[in-house]
Structure 1
């Protein structure tokens, strides 16, 4: 048996029934359920178009509430999509603009279609699946792609072009991200506070010669935002600071693991951080070194550093006073830092920074998609946006699953 999975923003699965009947004929297609609310489609062998003994079975699952964004949820398909998004985020990419489009596409997915072929995808089955992909404007994700006869793990578009594999390679050059207007919530009127903050950010960026869009949505305001607590921020800072030393090669994974366990920080260490400490591969080390920018933002939120600084200037954690930094080696004790980290910046200050970096991040992505040079340092902007989104509980996402939508 061979299988493949197709992901689409479409929710009208009646289109699949119509497409299969058009391809194979009415009598070859068995439906469990109603045409517009079916549970399974089975293509029966023995018809002249099919090799004898072959069957095609199609099932699907959907979000309970269709949408175009991803929020943390226990719903299985949402959990799967969040995992997929996080997986793509950490992949290298020969074409970063295409990777950004793939990430945007993942957030719009509403339906996961699973297709099984027995004993295999013959030419006609493959043709029918590709027709379905076009009908649904879908993308494929497979560990072993039986449709395209390759063992490469990655993503393919509806034409069969490779969007991104685990090594960062692509053959596609573009990906259209469609969102049906019916999925959008009725736009809420921007509060005066949020609109003023947006306008102020745009002015700041214009003064820096950074072009952004006035059409981007506003972010939360003080009446709706829930800033994470000082204790939670301090704990996250302490963990990041310890893990970061492994990224830079100052300590090894077991030493930091022991430290985190001894100081009751292990339970708050994320699964991704634990995996990194267990096997800190060089590629992951490089990615993890960027977390100093996240540490810098969290220290700023705790009033331990006076300002975030310029978007083109890497932070310098050596400038942080010793008493204001949680980790100074395995012999240090984070208790003093954790006990003293009680003063948070105001929600208005944190929202101001979040709005500014959100719009700056959009400018970087827009420039990259257009093949232009980013107007500011994209790595610094991304990491600070990531930490700021976590601070404001953006979509209630835990640390490993924070998204930086633009």
Structure 2
């Protein structure tokens, strides 16, 4: 069995059937669904009484909202394309200009068309695949099969030339990136990076480079000051009280039952997340170990409320013992969290919080890249960076995700 994938900006799937019908008899083509909105197509050729024949199966998926950029959406195809973008950006390419064009092309993709051949692609299949790529103004991703003879997986253009493989090699000269005018007209103003976001990215990259940390210049900007929704001081204080109370169980200062009673008595149970409630009900040792890492989130939220002058080094664990008693949100079972929450007012500016978020976003990418390559970064601790990035994403209302569901896309 062999497969390859076609990636296109085009969302018109009628042309796929038109191309198939130009190469195969209608009797060989079985369409699952309507011609206008089919789910899969199976083409069977060479079938005889004693021979099952060759099959070519086509399936596709598309972005719900077509466009020409890849903002985080949580949609499976969009997240796959974002992962592809970061993967390509991380390849040490011999032709960096062509790599940049491929990255620009990936951002425009709306349709992923997968083709599976059983037992293998034939010459006729190859002709169909290359015609589809041309008709759909697409590029292809494939490994060694009947269409592309190669030792490694790679990206190929409509002429069958190599755009980029996993070793960074290319044979293609250039790549055309087309954007449908309708998408451009509708979305250009919305998707043009704001000047403050662009400047912020440049500052973060410069800071990381000064630390001798690898940066990825293809990572997009983060939300800008005009559109970001920063959590309120009260919301931060409430989250701090719950986090620090639950964290006390992780360090065996109190039992899960004692903290549950404390949170219920102080009308904070509704602000306790589903995962925190499960932990408090059965605080297993392995879960306690994971929960201790929330110190880094507490640290960041205290910084956001100006209880700390700086977040500090990215390889230095948070030291909550240095926080003044009056500034710490959980003061034992007899403490008054309502007073702490009511007193919360002064907090960091949107610019300060976005600066930190942008920096930790890019540092988190460096940690992931190092982990994939089996290397380390002396000045970054992956666990510290991830937990702080998590809290910062919550602070900027990333995807409007609640605390339990915050994602740290890199």
TM-score (norm 2): 0.62
Q: 1:71 aligns with which of 70, 73, 82?
A: 73
Report what 1:306 is aligned to: 309
Q: 2:325 aligns with which of 291, 306, 322?
A: 322
Report what 1:227 is aligned to: 230
1:33 aligns with 2:33: yes
* SS of equivalent residue, structure 2 residue 227: coil
Structure 1 residues 28-82: Cα deviation after superposition (integer angstroms, max 9, x where no partner)? 87545323512577999xx9799xxxxxxx999865225855436xxxxx5x999
1:206 aligns with 2:209: yes
Report what 1:358 is aligned to: 361
Report what 1:248 is aligned to: 251
Is the 8 Å Cα contact of residues 368 and 374 (structure 1) preserved in structure 2?
no
Is the 8 Å Cα contact of residues 71 and 396 (structure 1) preserved in structure 2?
no
What is the count of residue pairs matched by the alignment? 331
Report what 2:398 is aligned to: 394
Distance 1:68 1:49 in 2: 49
Is the 8 Å Cα contact of residues 14 and 36 (structure 2) preserved in structure 1?
yes
Is the 8 Å Cα contact of residues 302 and 308 (structure 2) preserved in structure 1?
yes
Q: Are residues 203 and 263 of structure 1, via their aligned partners in 2, closer, same or farther at CA, if it must alter by over 3 Å?
A: same
Report what 1:258 is aligned to: 261
Is the 8 Å Cα contact of residues 357 and 381 (structure 1) preserved in structure 2?
yes
Structure 1 residues 77-125: Cα deviation after superposition (integer angstroms, max 9, x where no partner)? x5x999x9xxxxxxxxxxxx9xx9xxxxxxx998999xxxxxxxxxx99
Q: Are residues 255 and 368 of structure 1, via their aligned partners in 2, closer, same or farther at CA, if it must alter by over 3 Å?
A: same
Distance 2:348 2:49 in 1: 68
Report what 2:221 is aligned to: 218
Distance 2:13 2:275 in 1: 36
Question: How far is 1:194 from its partner?
Answer: 2.2
Q: Which runs of 5+ in 1 are unaligned?
A: 1-7, 51-57, 73-77, 85-96, 101-107, 114-123, 129-135, 139-173, 175-179
Structure 1 residues 119-161: Cα deviation after superposition (integer angstroms, max 9, x where no partner)? xxxxx99999xxxxxxx989xxxxxxxxxxxxxxxxxxxxxxx
Structure 1 residues 289-312: Cα deviation after superposition (integer angstroms, max 9, x where no partner)? 111100100011011122111111
Q: Are residues 213 and 111 of structure 1, via their aligned partners in 2, closer, same or farther at CA, if it must alter by over 3 Å?
A: closer
Report what 1:377 is aligned to: 381
Report what 1:103 is aligned to: none
Is the 8 Å Cα contact of residues 305 and 347 (structure 2) preserved in structure 1?
yes
1:338 aligns with 2:334: no
For residues 142-161 of structure 1, the aligned pairs below 5 Å read none
Q: Are residues 247 and 15 of structure 1, via their aligned partners in 2, closer, same or farther at CA, if it must alter by over 3 Å?
A: farther
Q: Which runs of 5+ in 2 are unaligned?
A: 1-5, 51-57, 81-86, 91-107, 122-139, 143-165, 167-176
* SS of equivalent residue, structure 2 residue 38: strand
Q: Are residues 27 and 329 of structure 1, via their aligned partners in 2, closer, same or farther at CA, if it must alter by over 3 Å?
A: farther
Distance 1:126 1:236 in 2: 56
Is the 8 Å Cα contact of residues 31 and 38 (structure 1) preserved in structure 2?
yes
Distance 1:48 1:261 in 2: 72
Question: How far is 1:322 from its partner?
Answer: 1.2
Structure 1 residues 262-320: Cα deviation after superposition (integer angstroms, max 9, x where no partner)? 11111122222222222333333222211110010001101112211111110111111
Distance 1:126 1:280 in 2: 52
Larger Rg: 2
1:368 aligns with 2:371: yes
Question: How far is 1:26 from its partner?
Answer: 6.3
| RMSD (CA atoms) | 5.0
